[in-house]
Amino acid sequence: SPAVRDRLRIAIQKSGRLSEPARALLASAGLSWRESRDRLFCYGESLPVDLLLVRDDDIPGLIADGVCDLGIVGRNVLAEQAGEREAAGLPVVFREWRALGFGGCRLSIAVPDGWDWQGPAQLAGKRIATSYPNLLRAWLRAQAIEADIVVLNGSVEIAPRLGQADLICDLVSSGATLAANQLKPVLDILHSEAVLAGPVTPFVDARAELAELLLRRMDGVLRIRD
């Protein structure tokens, strides 16, 4: 049975693109913490809501394991890990609760600048480097395209130049990284932004009311921003 807790734990990215806007949103919703530079656990002061500073890729797993209650993470990470769990026959126990309107990016297919892009059929038999094998596999399957997926955890954009892959499927925000590596985006397979992630099943203890309060306040902040 799940552990009963009377404080809510929210995981956010320790450092990176979503880190500052995530903190700002939670602060606007009235949360405050005792700040400490090196501490990865920040005890909530204004409400019994604590902050956990982690790697973004760890957030869905922390929710799945019940270590964390909620998290602010990219839809791309959440969707990829949902696909990974499905592929492994595990239940998907987390889901997107709210889209948060910041950290927008696309998961795109990008090909070398010199390619004369004709359409998805051109990808058949090619090697595609990505950090999102589950999302890419699902998209390729839906398009009935057979291609080889080369999994890399980072610096995906360099793979074509190194001869490791013919093209890539990676996140594009400003497009600067693609341009710097002589690649061009040709198709978006996912539109992403920061989301509030939480469990599929509702909380049964004091966390239910806390989560509801937090959601109400966050919705208020997001409405004003619109």
Distance of CA 88 to the CA centre of its chain: 19
The phi and psi torsions of 105 (rounded to 5 degrees) equal -165, 170
184 versus 217: smaller Cβ distance to ligand PRP: 184
x-marked contacts with ligand PRP along 181-210 as a string, rule CB under 6 A: ------------------------------
Which residue number, 15 or 46, has a Cβ lying nearer to ligand PRP?
A: 15
User: DSSP string spanning 138-188?
Assistant: HHHHHTT---EEEE-SS-GGGHHHHTS-SEEEEEESSSHHHHHTTEEEEEE
Cα gap 73→215, rounded to integer Å: 16
Apex CA 155: angle with CA 152 and CA 159, to 5°?
A: 70
Task: Tell me the C-alpha to C-alpha distance, in Å, between residue 121 and each of 158, 159, 188, 192.
Answer: 23, 21, 15, 24
Q: What is the DSSP letter of 31?
A: -
Instruction: Give yes or no for residue 80 binding ligand PRP (CB under 6 A).
Output: no
Helix pair 207-225, 19-28: axis angle to 10 deg: 100
Q: Hey, which residues between 147 and 186 contact ligand PRP (CB under 6 A)?
A: 154, 157, 170-177
In the bound state with ligand PRP, the residue whose beta carbon lies nearer, of 2 and 16, is: 16
**How many binding residues for ligand PRP (CB under 6 A)?**
11
Query: In whole angstroms, how close is the CB of 180 to ligand PRP at the nearest point?
Result: 8
* Residues in region 9-48 near ligand PRP by CB under 6 A: 17
Nearest distance from C-beta of residue 177 to ligand PRP, angstroms: 3
191's tokens: 């539109």
Whichever of 44 and 61 has its CB closer to ligand PRP, that residue is: 61
CB 130 to ligand PRP: min, Å? 10
**Among residues 106 and 207, whose Cβ is nearest to ligand PRP?**
106
Minimum Å distance from CB 38 to ligand PRP? Answer: 22
Closest separation in Å from C-beta 139 to ligand PRP:
17
Judged by the rule CB under 6 A, the positions of this chain that interact with ligand PRP are: 17, 154, 157, 170-177
